[in-house]
Structure 1
Amino acid sequence: MKAIFFSALILLGTCNSMPAQNVGNAAFANKLNRLLDHAIPAVDVAHVDTAAVFLDAREPQEFRVSHIKNARSVGYDDFDIASVKDLSKDTAIIVYCSVGYRSEKITEKLIDAGFTNVQNLYGGIFEWVNSGRSVVSDSGTSQRVHTYNKDWSQWLLRGEKVF
């Protein structure tokens, strides 16, 4: 009986540690599962709270090409927690980048700074666009997405790739 109990406990623990987020492309999902730590809260595109504050953890030149509407650019290399000092610690925040790696690191910094309702956008802006969601630039709605470089551009399946 003890063996069954402990086996069930181990199985439940294993299932609980697996990422619950989804992306539409199996190869992209495999890449993300290897790339990300999965140690912080994440949300997939289908379950996004559009009323949340979106923080873009890409660099300014990437943000200028396009971004999620009303997103705030906070960057990655020069991220400063002071850039979000106007937000209360319980504000619903979704952080994104190209695929979720840089935004995962910024999400971690926000949590360490005391933010309690912050999530990483699983699959980043690539999955946002791949799912048919729109992005904008200073000129309005855009089809262009900065893909960081040619290697990463393979994961953007819709839109115009810019790198």
Structure 2
Amino acid sequence: MKQIILYIFICFSASGFSQKSISEVLDKYNEESIPYITVKDLFKKEKEVILLDARESSEFEVSHLKNALFVGYDNFNLKRTIKKINNKQQTIIVYCSLGIRSEDIAEKLKKAGYTNIYNLHGGIFEWKNNNFPVYNSIGKETDSIHTFNHEWSKWLKKGIKIYD
């Protein structure tokens, strides 16, 4: 269902019916079944949480949050992810580009019994927009951010926009 919504979002964005803020995008496409955490709140407790990146591998390789575990979206594997996170009460923050795909992945973890899950509001774009560091596939800090596509890139205000 979310893949259909993402497709609709991309089509409407391309035709000029786009929202004015990241919050409006998230309000429109998310159910808010998972509570949000702001990038500023995450930055304060980044070392205390498990970060899960719910984007595709090509996005993750270009840019990700430090110590994030890649779990993907299209090929997300719940069993493989559960093996990485034994404690179902551990604080888990799931993120993607903006916070739409990450809600889907967080919902799957919630259904599997994880109780302390948050969705990063504004995703990696908002993280970079607030001047927080991102890292590439070799662990080096980078200004490059994979923006998923040209339409979504408008939400990234800082950094170098990278596309496939």
- TM-score above 0.5, yes or no: yes
The structure with the largest alpha-carbon Rg is 1
Percent identity reads: 44
Structure 2: tracts of 5 or more residues without a match: 1-19
Corresponding position: 1:31 with 2:25: yes
Return the match for 1:75 from 65, 72, 75: 72
Aligned runs of 1:97-112 on 2, under 5 Å?
A: 97-112=96-111
Q: CA deviation at 1:101?
A: 0.5
Q: Alpha carbon RMSD of aligned pairs, Å? A: 1.2
1:113 corresponds in structure 2 to: 112
Give secondary structure in 2 for the equivalent of 1:54.
strand
**Number of positions where the alignment pairs a residue of Structure 1 with one of Structure 2:** 138
TM-score by length of 1: 0.81
Structure number with greater CO (CA < 8 Å, separation at least 6) is: 2
User: Shift of the alpha carbon at 1:113?
Assistant: 0.3
Counterpart of 2:157 in structure 1 is: 157
Q: For residues 139 and 29 of structure 1, do their structure 2 counterparts lie closer, same or farther at Cα, with a shift above 3 Å needed?
A: same
Flag as ranges the 4+ runs of structure 1 deviating above 3 A.
none
Structure 1, unpaired ranges of 5+: 1-25
Alignment equivalent of 1:59, drawn from 56, 76, 90 = 56
Distance in 2, Cα, partners of 1:27 & 1:83: 35
Q: Deviations over 1:56-81 (max 9, x none)?
A: 00000100001000000000011111
What is the aligned partner in structure 1 of residue 7 from structure 2?
none
Aligned to 1:6: none
**TM-score w.r.t. structure 2 length?**
0.80
Q: Quote how far apart the aligned CAs of 1:139 are.
A: 5.1
Task: Compare 38-47 and 116-125 and name the one that shifted more.
Answer: 38-47
Per-residue CA deviation, residues 72-104 of structure 1 (Å, 9 max, x unaligned), is 000001111122223111111100000000000
Query: Secondary structure of 1:150's partner?
Result: coil
Post-superposition shift, 1:46?
1.5
Q: Structure 1 residues 65 and 89, CA, compared in 2 at 3 Å: closer, same or farther?
A: same
Q: Secondary structure at the match of 1:158?
A: coil
1:137-152 superposed matches below 5 A? 137=136, 138=138, 140-152=140-152
